[in-house]
């Protein structure tokens, strides 16, 4: 019996996680602030760069890589 490999459910996204993470890092580097939240990054990528993805996906990627803005 082969072990179960856990994969994401649903259709494959148009933009792979690696490309989306690069776009997030580029956006954070271009920002004049020390940190930005996932909602602002999501909106900026959607409006300016026309990269469509869910807000929760941006939150997950930024949280996994420690890119979220500092908070109390």
pLDDT tens track for 26-42: 988 888 777 788 999 99
Residue 22 has pLDDT above 90, yes or no: yes
Does some domain include residue 33? Answer: yes
Which residues, 6 or more positions from 24, have their beta carbon under 8 angstroms from its beta carbon?
Answer: 41, 45, 58, 61, 62, 67
Does some domain include residue 71? Answer: no
Instruction: Count up the domains in the chain and report the number.
Output: 1
pLDDT tens track for 46-72: 999 899 899 999 999 999 998 888 776
Does some domain include residue 46? Answer: yes
Residue found under tokens 């856990």: 6
Does some domain include residue 11? Answer: no
For residue 37, the enclosing domain spans 17-65
Does some domain include residue 42? Answer: yes
Does some domain include residue 12? Answer: no
Residue 8 has pLDDT above 80, yes or no: no
pLDDT, position 1: 67
């Amino acid at each position: 019996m082969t072990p179960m490999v856990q994969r994401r459910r649903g259709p494959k996204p148009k933009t792979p996680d690696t490309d989306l993470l690069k776009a997030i890092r580029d956006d954070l580097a271009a920002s004049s602030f020390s940190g930005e939240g996932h909602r602002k990054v999501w909106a900026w990528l959607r409006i300016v760069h026309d990269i469509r993805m869910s807000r929760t996906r941006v939150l997950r990627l930024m949280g996994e890589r420690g890119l979220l803005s500092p908070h109390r």
